[in-house]
Structures are given as C-alpha cells and as structure tokens.
Amino acid sequence: MKKHLKLGESFPKGNLAPRERCANPWNGECNNTDIALYIYLKGSKLPICRSCWNEIADKDIEWGEEFT
C-alpha cells in the first residue's frame, strides 16, 4: 500500500520528491515549478510560481469575497 504525503511533508531520505507545479487559476497553461507563494482561493491552497505572481501582483484588481 502506497503512503500519500500531504503538502509540507517530507519524503524519506533517498527518494526524490515530485516537484510541485503552479496552479494559477487564471493561467491554466502554466506548469512552472518555481513556486513563490501559496494563495487560498475558495478554500483551496494553490501554489503560484514566481512568474505568475509577478503578473497577478502587477494587475490593478481588488480581492473581494468572491475569492474566499
């Protein structure tokens, strides 16, 4: 039986962890593994890469209740 790890858990020494990929909900094409931060969107924790975060941060948007 395989053990499934939760976010933040470490793999045993000697095993390579799979790289987490960007889950930017506004860019479904991004597969970047250079994760800069996580956002919570509608109750889900999503990894966001550095490139996507730069694009999001540069936009003139207001985060309202529709994102929680």
Q: Name the residue with tokens 């509608």.
A: 42
Find, among 55, 25, 49, 17, the residue nearest to 35 by Cα.
Answer: 49
Q: Name the residue with tokens 């309202």.
A: 64
pLDDT at 11: 56
36-56 pLDDT, tens digit per residue, is: 999 998 899 999 999 999 998
pLDDT at 60: 83
pLDDT at 46: 94
The phi, psi pair for 27, rounded to 5°, reads -140, 85
Instruction: Give the predicted TM-score (pTM) of the model.
Output: 0.64
